[in-house]
Amino acid sequence: MDTFLQQLANGLTIGSMFALVALGYTMVYGVMRLINFAHGDMVAASAFVGLTIYTQVMGQATSLVAVIVIFLLTALVMAVVGIILERLAYRPLREAPRLSAVVSALGASLVIQNGIMLIWGPRMRIFPELVPQIYWDFDGVVISMIQVIILVLSLFLMVALYLFVEKTRIGAAIRASSIDQDAARLMGINVNSVIALIFIIGSSLGAVGGLFIGLYYRGITFNMGWQYGLYAFIAAILGGIGNIPGAMLGGMLLGLFNAFIAGYVSSTWADAFTFILLILILIVRPTGILGERVAEKV
Amino acid sequence: MARNELILTDVTKRFGGLTAVDALSFKVEEGQIYGIIGPNGAGKTTVFNCITGIYKSEEGLVNWRGEEIRGMTPYQIVDRGIVRTFQTIRLFGQMSVAENIMSGRHIKSTQSWWHGIIPTPGKIKDELENWKKVEEQLDFFKLSEFAATPVGSLPYGIQRRVEIARAMAVEPTLLILDEPAAGLNDKETLELLETIFKIRDKGVTVLLIEHDMDMVMEVTDYLTVINFGKKIAEGTPEDIQKNPAVIEAYLGSEDDDDE
Amino acid sequence: MKELQKFAYPIFFVVMAILPHLLDDRWQAVAITFLIFAVVALSQDIILGKSGMFNMGQALFFGMGAYTTAILNNEYGWSIIATIPLAIIIPALFGILLAGPIVHLRGDYLLVVTIGFNIVFVQVLQNNLGGITGGPNGIFGLDSLRFLNFDLTSQISVYYFAFVVLLLTLWVMHNLAGSKPGRALHYLREDQLAAESIGINTRVYKIFAFGLGAGIAGLAGTVYATQYSAVSPEAFEFIQSVLFFSIVLVGGSSVPGVLIGVFVMFVLPEIFREFATWRYFIFGFAMIAAMILRPRGIWPATFGKIPKFLIKENNHGA
């Protein structure tokens, strides 16, 4: 029972991080039908940016206010990077075949990844201890403060995003653009602004995810974005691409599944099993668990 | 020896709560030019999709030459001699006219998968024969000068001809045309009319949907009129013109409904 | 221009035939890898370029061929040449098997599933399944080529082996282009519904494309195993699939396009090896620029290859 609860706790934590990152993928895909392969690297970059803001800007302060500022500044920086990314690598390809944008995304991924390496070096860096290292021991099940914060904050952000998309007018504009860009445009929606907005939101959420990754794993490397991004994208697909609650669900499920396989079966087979699960789900339910939210042209 | 007849019996197609085709029955006899007409949204293309395997109707029977084809895939139905064109023209845009028509020879070609890897004398012969058949269609439809032209760059009227040529390359027994006159000007429509007669002269049965009433009255032998998925009348063009139910259904829209 | 094109292929072949004698060891190795990657990229083109299926797992089949050769040679003592038929057939069968349940999936989902297959494959290799895959270090110490009692150990002979395999692949691609299955792939890529409605069993041809692409990639795997006398899992990781995927799209879905693609995506970074830290950074920008400037690839596919007798006098050519 111990292992189960422990893996549950771990799984939920990892799942929350996957979910935050997955949201960035799913929002961009929903409106632009584009797999933003550079997103994972943006998440990695966030950790490094956060590190630098901590050391250079905040003078290594760790008060609550300081930490909040670090989070906000990092999100801001990454949002700007996201806008630049969209303008440079994706907007010129709006009318091009879809796969061209995918290759452009891969190129952007290379740029960001190697950009990180050029600025911060190829070796692993240690992410600062922004959160007090407090642990609670429940009869053998260890839960850290970091885990609690990640879980609570992620949940809060996800609910906030969900309400934003479902209940506000701007959210409706996002949903409309996901269904049919042209029709949305004809209805007076400024699709360019919508796209800029989803990149801002996606990058910011990804930034928070990146900082969480730094906090949780402590060691960060320039190429950690690739693998992580891939998993998060899988999570988005799992939940139904374009579907925001789906990305959240997919992220959580993936995190849980990964934790349980690693805990119970074997960590060396964790990847393989995760992907086999994904493949089976897609064969049985091609539109993901909650169904995709993109219109199909029959 | 089964006759080349298409018989629909009580075919019903639903999309969720919407009944697009409602217990529709009609019979197309060999050698006819049969028309399906009705106001916009009446369900005509849906019926065609049910016949050609794009949809499977929920209820009813689709009988071709004594065989039940309801539920078969589109390519299986082509294999049995029924070929269709699309209302929106679905050609292979980047490819030349000749290559588009050649796609119609696919099902007639005797090549197997390994001929894609290794050439044999049989394959070379098969290629030549089929390109010759493409030439026949190019000549018949007066498309020879465009043989190497990418189809996407051609005017609409010519694209229509290519689509019909492609369908004819399959050497169908039943040709289904979905609004073939849509988007054509008067001269082109006249040419289309003559082409359809020539196709019938070749022994092909024709089933078509059309909005252009003048053309329908000229070219068809027999009609079924549909509204809201249900048959409201059937008969010769003369009968239909006088039928009160038909007139009412078309109230105010008896004119051409050009796309 | 047409005149130039007629001579382009013969010139290319002659240049490639004498090339190894002009290069030093390191560049010979690069040239061999160029040839091998060209074969894999052409096989990827069958699935991605011609059939339009978003396959990002071609390294899987490449690796299967390589490992088939390695295992048969290392465990069972088969000569390299003898392993070739199985190194083609086993990946081809896997290609057919794996394609079956997934070819109906929509583009991006298919993409993710092929990535998944690749990752599962690599993990199987790393975990030394059945004790024969050699774990993370792979299998080494393979025999060199033996052909008619000649031990072909030199790098130059490996080069010619690779060259012959490329020629064979080009021949197959040529046959595919002017055949019923080859055309069927183009039709189903352009408009699947129209293709089905004109009598093409699109499902069967999609699976065929996977099988053929897998088999050819497997053959390239044998050459790879011969080049290094070893195989290891990292050579077949999903990042390699991304490379092959990008080659076809950046270069374009044509033979010249793919060859250019291999050159741009693989040889160029080798040329700039000294700029180790900057080369991939710049390269990323180059990829973005390439797609913006040439969205369909540097040398895209062209159509309109029809028999001469169909092209009449006043023809509005392509």
- The answer on pLDDT for B258 being more than 60 is no
Q: Would an 8 Å CB–CB cutoff place B157 in contact with chain C?
A: no
Averaged pLDDT for residues B111-120: 92
First-to-last alpha carbon distance for chain A, in angstroms, is 50
| A276: chain C residues, CB-CB within 8 Å | 116, 120
Nearest to C213 by CA among C312, C90, C75, C91: C91
Same domain, residue pair B178 and B161: no
pLDDT in the model for residue C53: 95
Chain B / chain C CB contacts < 8 angstroms: 146
Q: Would an 8 Å CB–CB cutoff place B171 in contact with chain C?
A: no
Share of chain B above pLDDT 70, in %: 96
Residues of C with CB under 8 A from a CB of B: 172, 175-176, 178-184, 186-187, 190-191, 193-202, 208, 212, 301, 303-304, 306-307, 309-312, 314-318
Q: Which residues contact B241 (CB under 8 A, 6 or more apart)?
A: B217
Q: Would an 8 Å CB–CB cutoff place B25 in contact with chain C?
A: no
In a domain, A290, yes or no: no
C98 vs A270, residue with greater confidence: C98
Averaged pLDDT for residues B191-200: 94
CB of A274 closer than 8 Å to CB of A266: no
pLDDT in the model for residue A297: 38
Tokens of C272: 């700039």
Class of residue B195 by CB neighbours under 10 A (exposed 0-12, middle 13-18, buried 19+)? buried
* Chain B residue with minimum CA distance to C303: B95
Chain A / chain C CB contacts < 8 angstroms: 125
Averaged pLDDT for residues B249-258: 57
Mean pLDDT (chain C, rounded): 90
In a domain, B191, yes or no: no
Rank A217-231, B117-131, B234-248 by mean pLDDT and report only the highest.
B117-131
Residues linked to residue B231 through DSSP beta bridges, in sequence order: B226
Instruction: Give one DSSP letter per residue of B46-107, joined into a string.
Output: HHHHHHTTSS--SEEEEEETTEE-TT--HHHHHHTTEEE--TT----TTSBHHHHHHHTTGG
Which CATH number goes with the domain that contains B32?
Answer: 3.40.50.300
Rank A252-256, A281-285, C45-49, C141-145 by mean pLDDT and report only the highest.
C45-49
Same domain, residue pair B126 and B230: no
Same domain, residue pair B177 and B259: yes
* Chain C residue with minimum CA distance to B127: C179
Rank A64-68, A276-280, C161-165 by mean pLDDT and report only the highest.
C161-165
pLDDT in the model for residue B107: 94
Same domain, residue pair B53 and B102: no
**Test mutation, C310, C311, C315, chain B, max B CBs within 10 A:** C310
Class of residue C14 by CB neighbours under 10 A (exposed 0-12, middle 13-18, buried 19+)? exposed
Instruction: Give one DSSP letter per residue of C231-249, joined into a string.
Output: E-GGGGSHHHHHHHHHHHH
Cβ distance of A93 and C292 shorter than 8 Å: yes
Reduced to 3 states (helix: H, G, I; strand: E, B; else coil), residue B178 is strand
Q: What is the DSSP letter of B150?
A: B
In a domain, C99, yes or no: yes
What torsion, rounded to 10 degrees, do the Cα atoms A231, A235, A237, A242 define?
-120
Q: Which residues contact C180 (CB under 8 A, 6 or more apart)?
A: B106, B109, B111, B115, B116, B126
Averaged pLDDT for residues A220-234: 87
* Chain A residue with minimum CA distance to C100: A283
Q: Which domain holds residue C50?
A: 20-238
Q: Which residues contact C181 (CB under 8 A, 6 or more apart)?
A: B111, B113, B115, B116, C205, C208
Tokens of C18: 């004498």
| Residue C117: count of CB within 10 angstroms of its CB | 23
| A238: chain C residues, CB-CB within 8 Å | none
- How far is residue C139's CA from residue A268's CA, in Å, rounded to a whole number? 19
- The answer on pLDDT for B259 being more than 50 is no
- State how far Cα B167 lies from the chain centre: 8
**What is the count of structural domains for chain A?**
1
In a domain, C7, yes or no: no
Q: Which domain holds residue A224?
A: 23-135+143-229
What torsion, rounded to 10 degrees, do the Cα atoms B91, B225, B42, B8 define?
-70
| C261: chain A residues, CB-CB within 8 Å | none
- The answer on pLDDT for B56 being more than 90 is yes
In a domain, B192, yes or no: no
**Test mutation, C189, C240, C272, C287, chain A, max A CBs within 10 A:** C287
Mean pLDDT (chain A, rounded): 87
> For A223-243, b where at least 16 C-beta lie within 10 A, e where not — what string?
bbbbebbbbbbbbbbbbbbbb
In a domain, B150, yes or no: yes
Instruction: Give one DSSP letter per residue of B108-124, joined into a string.
Output: G----GGGGTS--HHHH
Instruction: Give one DSSP letter per residue of A99-121, joined into a string.
Output: HHHHHHHHHHHHHHHHHHHHHH-
| Nearest-CA distance C291 → chain B (Å) | 20
Same domain, residue pair B165 and B177: no
Quick one: pLDDT band at residue C318, thresholds 50, 70, 90?
very low
C250-295 confidence digits (pLDDT tens): 999 999 999 999 998 899 888 888 777 788 898 899 999 999 999 9
Same domain, residue pair B97 and B72: no
Residue appearing with tokens 């052409």: C42
pLDDT in the model for residue B77: 96
**What is the count of structural domains for chain C?**
1
| Nearest-CA distance C11 → chain B (Å) | 25
Q: Would an 8 Å CB–CB cutoff place B173 in contact with chain C?
A: no
pLDDT in the model for residue B51: 94
The answer for B 55-84 residues in CB contact with C (under 8 A) is 73-75, 78-79, 83-84
In a domain, B190, yes or no: no
pLDDT in the model for residue C316: 53
Residue appearing with tokens 């022994």: B203
Q: Which domain holds residue B100?
A: 92-171
- The answer on pLDDT for A5 being more than 80 is yes
B62-100 confidence digits (pLDDT tens): 999 999 999 899 999 999 999 999 999 999 999 999 999
Tell me which H or E stretch contains C188. Answer: helix C180-190
A144-179 confidence digits (pLDDT tens): 888 888 999 999 999 999 999 889 988 999 888 888
- A44-53, A86-95, A224-233, C230-239: range with lowest mean pLDDT: A224-233
| B90: chain C residues, CB-CB within 8 Å | 191, 193-194, 197
Tokens of B151: 């189809």
In a domain, A130, yes or no: yes
Look up the ipTM and state it. 0.91
Averaged pLDDT for residues B207-230: 90
pLDDT in the model for residue C109: 83
Q: Which residues contact B70 (CB under 8 A, 6 or more apart)?
A: B11, B50, B56, B57, B60, B61, B62
In a domain, A181, yes or no: yes
In a domain, C11, yes or no: no
Model confidence, pTM: 0.91
**What is the count of structural domains for chain B?**
2
| C127: chain A residues, CB-CB within 8 Å | 268-269, 272
Same domain, residue pair B70 and B148: no
